């Protein structure tokens, strides 16, 4: 009885071990069978025949429309406004008087200096006649001539001071909103209004630094604005002297060639730049490229089998990408199901473009 009980105990201890061992072998067999089925499974995918096509790379960047010229109107000196000729939104010509400051004191001083100049000139004329007959010394005549020169210099200085009481339009343009009223006492710190040259506009935008070498003066660019279906043109006139170190972009400025009521200063513009063009580019769909750590590959299909081919890419548009090395016209690449395809899989193409 003792031996029988001992055997039963051993069987109870070994039974779980045997069951676990059998389960593990069964699980391994199932896994091996699953892998075998996966390798034998035919994957359905779409294909694309490599071909040549005219391809352009277009770059879209945001831009801003600016007035051709714009400046703030501020007084040069402190004074009280006695004449205000600013109508908001009105177009003015270069040299038009916009603001006049009080200058009665300067006008009085100018008249005084003019009288002094007339007297000193007559004195210099009389002394010039006396000098001819040796009636006075050369030094006396020189002093009277010096007084004439001083009077003229004082008149010129006063005239400059008077001109500073007049604020005139620096160029043909449109007046902005007025910030002061008649009779106000203003200083150079006060902004009176702004003037903008809006009959012609500038377009300002930035491009990534890798395109900085093609942003040459005279290059034509196209752009669109919100609310207008038309496409407008501008010509590059200048670029910033260096690339911005923070954004790694280059600032570009162009002159708008078209005129339209839809183009207003400060409006947002979408700039369309055609960077590269190839009339016979070898192309495949963009989604056919699989990026990897060090290179890019495409899945090439031939007689039911696939091969992962390393490729070199060039320019691209919204649908296609140029292949500069690795593929040739007539090759077939897989365009769908790329994440599930392995090199040893069988592939059947359901649709070929």
Domains present along the chain, CATH in parentheses: 42-55+278-352 (2.40.420.20), 60-67+197-276 (2.40.30.170), 77-102+165-191 (2.40.50.100), 104-162 (1.10.287.470)
Q: Is the pLDDT of residue 23 over 70?
A: no
Contacts 24+ apart (CB under 8 A), 35-43: 39/344, 39/345, 40/346, 41/345, 41/346, 42/304, 42/346, 42/347, 42/348, 43/337, 43/340, 43/341, 43/345, 43/346, 43/347, 43/348
What's the rounded Cα separation, in Å, for the pair 133 and 36? 133
Q: Is the pLDDT of residue 20 over 50?
A: yes
Helix (H, G, I), strand (E, B) or coil at 8: helix
List beta partners, residue 51.
283
Mean pLDDT of 125-143: 89
What's the rounded Cα separation, in Å, for the pair 60 and 62? 7
Question: 319 falls in which pLDDT band (50, 70, 90)?
Answer: confident
Furthest-apart CA atoms within the chain: distance in Å: 170
pLDDT 10s digits, 234-261:
999 999 999 999 999 999 999 999 888 8
Helix (H) or strand (E) segment spanning residue 278: strand 268-285
Question: 37 falls in which pLDDT band (50, 70, 90)?
Answer: very low
pLDDT at position 13, please? 58
The percentage of residues in the chain with a pLDDT greater than 70, rounded to a whole number, is: 89
- For the chain, the first-to-last Cα distance in angstroms comes to 82
Phi-psi region of 252 (alpha: psi -120 to 50; beta: other; left: phi over 0): beta
What's the rounded Cα separation, in Å, for the pair 251 and 268? 16
Helix, strand, coil fractions of the chain, as percent rounded to 5: 30, 40, 30
Question: 57 falls in which pLDDT band (50, 70, 90)?
Answer: confident
pLDDT at position 50, please? 94
Contact 173, 197 (CB under 8 A): yes
Is 298 buried (19+), middle (13-18) or exposed (0-12) by CB count in 10 A?
A: buried
Q: Is the pLDDT of residue 52 over 70?
A: yes
pLDDT 10s digits, 183-221:
999 999 999 999 999 889 999 999 999 888 889 999 999
pLDDT 10s digits, 257-283:
988 888 999 999 999 988 777 888 899
Burial 300-314 (b: 16+ CB within 10 A, else e): bbeeeebeeeebebb
Phi, psi of 27 (to 5 degrees): -65, -40
Q: Is the pLDDT of residue 326 over 70?
A: yes
193-208 and 249-256 strand pairing = antiparallel
């Amino acid at each position: 009885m003792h031996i029988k009980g001992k055997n039963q105990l051993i069987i109870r201890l070994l039974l779980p071990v045997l069951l676990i061992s059998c389960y593990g072998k069964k699980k391994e067999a199932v896994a091996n069978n699953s892998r075998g089925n996966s390798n034998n499974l035919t994957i359905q995918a779409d294909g694309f025949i490599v071909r040549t096509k005219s391809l352009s790379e277009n770059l879209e960047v945001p831009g801003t429309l600016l007035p051709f010229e714009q400046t703030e109107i501020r007084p040069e000196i402190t004074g009280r406004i006695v004449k205000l000729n600013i109508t908001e939104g009105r177009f003015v010509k270069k040299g038009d008087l916009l603001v006049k400051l009080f200058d009665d004191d300067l006008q009085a001083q100018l008249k005084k200096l003019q009288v002094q100049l007339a007297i000193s000139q007559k004195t210099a004329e009389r002394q010039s006649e006396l000098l001819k007959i040796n009636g006075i010394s050369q030094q006396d005549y020189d002093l009277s001539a010096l007084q004439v020169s001083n009077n003229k210099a004082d008149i010129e200085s006063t005239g400059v001071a008077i001109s500073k009481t007049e604020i005139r339009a620096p160029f043909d343009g449109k007046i902005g909103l007025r910030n002061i009223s008649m009779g106000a006492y203003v200083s150079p710190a006060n902004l009176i209004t702004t003037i903008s040259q809006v009959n012609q506009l500038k377009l300002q935008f930035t491009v990534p630094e890798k395109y900085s070498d093609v942003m040459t003066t005279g290059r034509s660019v196209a752009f669109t604005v919100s609310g207008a279906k038309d496409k407008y043109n501008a010509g590059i006139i200048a670029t910033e002297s260096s690339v911005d170190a923070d954004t790694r972009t280059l600032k570009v400025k162009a002159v708008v060639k078209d005129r339209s009521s839809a183009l207003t200063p400060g409006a947002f513009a979408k700039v369309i730049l055609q960077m590269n063009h190839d009339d016979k580019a070898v192309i495949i769909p963009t989604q056919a490229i699989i990026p990897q750590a060090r290179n890019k590959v495409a899945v090439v299909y031939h007689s039911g089998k696939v091969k992962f081919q390393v490729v070199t890419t060039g320019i691209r548009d919204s649908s296609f990408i140029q292949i500069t090395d690795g593929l040739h016209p007539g090759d077939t690449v897989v365009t769908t199901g790329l994440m599930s395809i392995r090199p040893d899989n069988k592939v059947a193409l359901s649709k070929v473009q």
